[in-house]
């Protein structure tokens, strides 16, 4: 299959029209109309086989996830996704794989009426990238900076599920065969969190006028909360007993393991945000109404860095922050 046939296949599977796409794929570049009063929000993320996903991961899951991780970045800014560009590097011209990838991508894109407006296709080791574009009412951005001392820290949903799912699949993990043999329902839930993350777009909209700072949890709560602290010029106290963990995670891992996954496991794509206690009260009700769980997990304090507080009130050392490239 030639390059153009592959692109054709992708676009057949994932194309969607929008009135604000002045010129879609097929020319040298796309032309997009940004409405009056809105700002353009842009994010890009890459997934490399063997680094971000295991060899053998299905095309539909990859198509969904490469879009989801980028939409999660838009969610953390409070933006509404509108358009995306897709870069694909494929070891071979595998039409079936590309069709599955387009199907997974389209399934998530359809939820937000997002249009695939262009991309690039090359040969090489398997790698996917999306540039996600979205819109935000002028001046309404939600950023990592802006948390104040005394603000409460919250996180949506539950933490550690995707990292738990990855452990079920990791051939190098001594526990993997035990996990694979057990609790199929819980395991499937964790694997769904790993392969089909659900970007918190609607939650991001609700946070826009209320949160003082926000970040999406992609590299692990500790690592990402540290970014938020650094950007805001504050420290944070995290109450470990409060970290929200799913029933599925508790089913497959003991308390210590589950805590470690919730703190440092990546790929959750939940939103971690700060807000004053007064403004957070109504927000919690609004999030509940859209089916988004939210938990208070700590407080912003003066100084810098994170302090972990165990259930008995004692301080705990930080063992591992989260995923970092280029760090042994
Ligand atoms: P050029 O050589 O001018 O960069 P290409 O031949 O790479 O153009 O691409 C032709 C058209 O197909 C462009 O409009 C491009 O955006 C689109 N396209 C190429 N690869 C992809 C892809 N993976 N996903 C979506 N559109 C793509
Ligand atoms: Mg060109």
The ligand with the least distance to the CA atom of 26 is 1
Question: Quick one: angle between helices 161-169 and 255-264, nearest 10?
Answer: 110
* Ligand 1 near 120 CB (within 6 A): yes
Residue 301: CB atoms within 10 A of its CB come to: 17
Q: What is the CA radius of gyration of the chain?
A: 20
In this structure, the residue with its CA closest to atom 20 of ligand 1 is 120
pLDDT tens string 183-197: 689 999 999 999 999
* Ligand 1 near 27 CB (within 6 A): yes
Rounded CA-CA distance 230/224 in Å is 10
Closest CA to 273 of 74, 139, 76: 76
* Ligand 1 near 131 CB (within 6 A): no
The ligand with the least distance to the CA atom of 23 is 1
List CB-based neighbours of ion ligand 2 within 5 Å: 28
Contact 44, 130 (CB under 8 A): yes
In this structure, the residue with its CA closest to atom 18 of ligand 1 is 119
User: To test the ligand 1 pocket, which listed residue (84, 99, 120, 130) has its Cβ within 8 A of the most ligand atoms?
Assistant: 120
- Can you give the pLDDT of all 328 residues of the chain as single tens digits? 778 888 888 888 887 789 999 999 999 999 999 999 999 999 999 999 999 999 999 999 999 999 999 999 999 999 999 999 999 999 999 999 999 999 999 999 999 999 999 999 999 999 999 999 999 999 999 999 999 999 999 999 999 999 999 998 887 777 777 777 776 899 999 999 999 999 999 999 999 989 999 999 999 999 999 999 999 999 999 999 999 999 999 999 999 999 999 999 999 999 999 999 999 999 999 999 999 999 999 999 999 999 999 999 999 878 666 656 555 4
Ligand 1: distance of its center to the CA of 111 in Å? 24
In this structure, the residue with its CA closest to atom 8 of ligand 1 is 28
Ligand 2: distance of its center to the CA of 30 in Å? 11
């Amino acid at each position: 299959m030639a390059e153009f046939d592959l692109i054709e296949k992708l676009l057949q599977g994932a194309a969607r029209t929008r009135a604000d796409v002045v010129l879609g794929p097929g020319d040298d570049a796309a032309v997009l109309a940004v409405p009056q009063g809105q700002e353009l929000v842009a994010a890009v993320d890459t997934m490399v086989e063997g680094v971000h996903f295991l060899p053998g991961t299905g095309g539909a899951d990859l198509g969904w996830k490469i879009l989801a991780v980028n939409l999660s970045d838009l969610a953390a800014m409070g933006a509404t996704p509108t358009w995306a560009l897709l870069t694909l590097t494929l070891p071979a011209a595998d039409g079936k794989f590309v069709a599955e990838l387009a199907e997974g991508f389209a399934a998530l894109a359809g939820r937000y009426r997002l249009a695939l407006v262009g991309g690039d296709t090359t040969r090489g080791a398997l790698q996917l990238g999306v540039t996600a574009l979205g819109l935000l009412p002028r001046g309404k951005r939600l950023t990592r900076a802006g948390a104040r001392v005394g603000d409460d820290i919250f996180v949506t949903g539950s933490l550690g599920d995707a990292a738990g799912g990855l452990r079920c699949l990791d051939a190098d993990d001594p526990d993997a065969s035990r996990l694979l043999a057990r609790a199929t329902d819980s395991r499937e839930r964790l694997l769904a969190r790993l392969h089909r993350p659900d970007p918190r777009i609607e939650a991001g909209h609700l946070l826009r006028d209320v949160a003082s700072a926000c970040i999406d949890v992609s590299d692990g709560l500790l690592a990402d909360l540290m970014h938020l602290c650094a950007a805001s010029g504050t420290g944070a106290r995290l109450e470990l007993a409060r970290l929200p963990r799913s029933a599925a995670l508790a089913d497959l891992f003991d308390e210590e393991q589950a805590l470690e996954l919730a703190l440092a496991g990546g790929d959750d794509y939940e939103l971690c945000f700060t807000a004053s206690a007064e403004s957070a009260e109504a927000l919690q009700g609004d999030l509940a109404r859209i089916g988004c769980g939210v938990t208070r997990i700590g407080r912003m304090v003066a100084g810098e860095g994170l302090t972990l507080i165990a259930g008995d009130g004692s301080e705990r050392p930080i063992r591992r922050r989260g995923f970092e490239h280029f760090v042994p």
